[in-house]
């Protein structure tokens, strides 16, 4: 996305505005498939549930990881055109409900679709047996999350020592455990997490087979694939090399490998453009106030432990400054140390790589509406005219 294109979007739609380039979404999906050719990508819809993104990935051949009934129905709307049997086959093969804890009302609503559901404890297993007996099961394992930006192992996943018991109990109750899953933590830059997790899954799979003769044919390696927010993040190709080597060593070719990339597919596809609405000198530093906030597009600062660079369209000698959001909350701080040239009220700024866990978490706090979202889905030669018309 060029600066000229971003300025054109701001002129037409006002600010704040989030511009999502679907060519980048498709390129990220192709990159994932190229480096992990034997892993089926199930897009984690929670990363950015825009229907336009779901449609683009559906057309590209992606599967979907959903974590709520509304997310399931969002994906379902993209396959309503399919005949009933094809639609059911798609749900069984292409959608996993990866939230280990589910309200009984959700289970009752999902049961007719015979979905693939995750669980990680005995109470959840019994709940699924009662309210969604037609579901297939995937057992979520607890694995190391060391070095990941968002740690998940303290909330989800059973210990490996109890995994085989939970698998055997599911079969005893008349249900079928199709697979094992894990999540190494969001934005995982410690690639050893994946290696350890795959070894844990392989050991649990072997124990289940030896104790009950139950063969597990699906391994879901979850998400956590890191986005290059800065130069310290190693290239995805290096992580893929580690994953491919472990999969080849631990599993036969008839085992289906799934993954749940979310951030990786959409983060770099979006840029937000905001406007400077105020300026002050405070604590020895220039402070700028913009018409977006951590309760809106920059919500990833709070909910995702992420920092976004604020960039200026204006050139000049840069000085360290503070950038605040538009709400009256003192916590609404975008950054305390951004290098920017001197800006005027009304100038525009922008932040890239903000497509994941950002506008998806926007609120109406303080009465401010979320940013407008513009989806660019044409060839780059037609992009400016499609924005500006």
- How big is the chain, counted in residues? 389
145 alpha-carbon distance from chain centroid: 16
pLDDT per position as a tens digit, 250-261: 999 999 999 999
| DSSP assignment of 322-381 | EEE-SSS-TT-EEEEEEEE----TT-EEEE-S-TTTTGGG---GGGPPPPEEEEE-S-GG
pLDDT at residue 73 tops 90: yes
* Among the ranges given (100-114, 147-161, 198-212, 239-253), the one the predictor scored with the smallest mean pLDDT: 147-161
Active-site residues, by number, are 328
How far apart are alpha carbons 171 and 145 in whole angstroms? 29
Over range 314-320, report the average pLDDT: 95
Q: What is the pLDDT of residue 145?
A: 85
Query: Is the Cβ–Cβ distance between 46 and 360 less than 8 Å?
Result: yes
- Bridge partners of 286? 281
pLDDT per position as a tens digit, 181-225: 999 988 988 899 999 999 999 999 999 999 988 999 999 999 999
Query: Is the Cβ–Cβ distance between 227 and 187 less than 8 Å?
Result: yes
Domains of the chain: 3-18+268-388 (2.40.37.10), 22-266 (3.20.20.10)
Q: What is the mean pLDDT of the chain?
A: 93
Q: What is the DSSP letter of 141?
A: B
pLDDT at residue 154 tops 90: no
Strand intervals (E) in 17-164: 17-21, 39-44, 63-66, 95-97, 116-119, 136-140, 148-150
Q: What is the pLDDT of residue 383?
A: 41
pLDDT at residue 385 tops 80: no
pLDDT per position as a tens digit, 109-131: 999 999 999 999 999 999 999 99
Q: How confident is the model at residue 378 (pLDDT cuts 50, 70, 90)?
A: low
List, in order, residues 6 or more apart from 310 with CB less than 8 Å away.
Answer: 290, 323, 334, 335, 338, 340, 349, 350, 351
334 or 361, which is more confident? 334
pLDDT at residue 382 tops 80: no
């Amino acid at each position: 996305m060029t600066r000229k294109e971003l300025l054109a979007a701001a002129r037409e739609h006002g600010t704040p505005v989030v511009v999502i380039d679907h060519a980048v979404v498709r390129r990220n999906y192709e990159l994932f498939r190229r480096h992990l050719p034997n892993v089926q990508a199930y897009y984690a819809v929670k990363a950015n549930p825009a229907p336009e993104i779901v449609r683009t990935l559906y057309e590209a051949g992606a599967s979907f990881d959903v974590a709520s009934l509304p997310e399931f129905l969002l994906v379902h709307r993209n396959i309503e055109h399919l005949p009933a049997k094809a639609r059911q086959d798609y749900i069984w093969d292409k959608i996993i409900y990866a939230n280990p804890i589910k309200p009984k009302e959700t289970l009752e609503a999902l049961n007719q679709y015979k979905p693939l559901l995750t669980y990680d404890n005995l109470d959840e297993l019994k709940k699924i047996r009662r309210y969604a007996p037609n579901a297939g099961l995937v057992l979520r394992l607890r694995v190391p999350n060391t070095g990941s930006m968002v740690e998940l192992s303290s909330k989800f996943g059973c210990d490996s020592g109890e995994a085989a018991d939970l698998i055997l109990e599911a079969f005893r109750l008349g249900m079928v455990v199709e697979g094992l899953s894990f999540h190494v933590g969001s934005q995982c830059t410690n690639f050893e997490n994946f290696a350890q997790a795959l070894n844990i899954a392989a050991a649990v799979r072997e124990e289940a087979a030896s104790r009950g003769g139950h063969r597990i044919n699906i391994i879901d390696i979850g998400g956590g694939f890191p986005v290059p927010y800065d130069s310290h993040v190693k290239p995805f190709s290096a992580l893929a090399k580690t994953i491919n080597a472990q999969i080849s060593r631990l599993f036969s070719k008839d085992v289906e490998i799934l993954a749940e990339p979310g951030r990786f597919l959409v983060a770099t596809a979006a840029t937000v453009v905001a406007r400077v609405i105020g300026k002050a000198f405070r604590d020895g530093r220039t402070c700028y106030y913009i018409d977006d906030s951590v309760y809106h597009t920059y919500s990833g600062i709070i909910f995702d432990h992420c920092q976004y660079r604020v960039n200026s369209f204006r050139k000049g000698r840069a000085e360290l400054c503070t950038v605040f959001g538009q709400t009256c909350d003192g916590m609404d701080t975008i950054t305390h140390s951004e290098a920017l040239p001197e800006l005027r009220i009304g100038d525009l700024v922008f932040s890239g790589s903000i497509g994941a866990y950002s506008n998806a978490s926007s609120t109406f706090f303080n009465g401010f509406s979320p940013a407008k979202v513009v989806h660019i889905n044409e060839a780059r030669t037609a992009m400016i005219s499609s924005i500006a018309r």
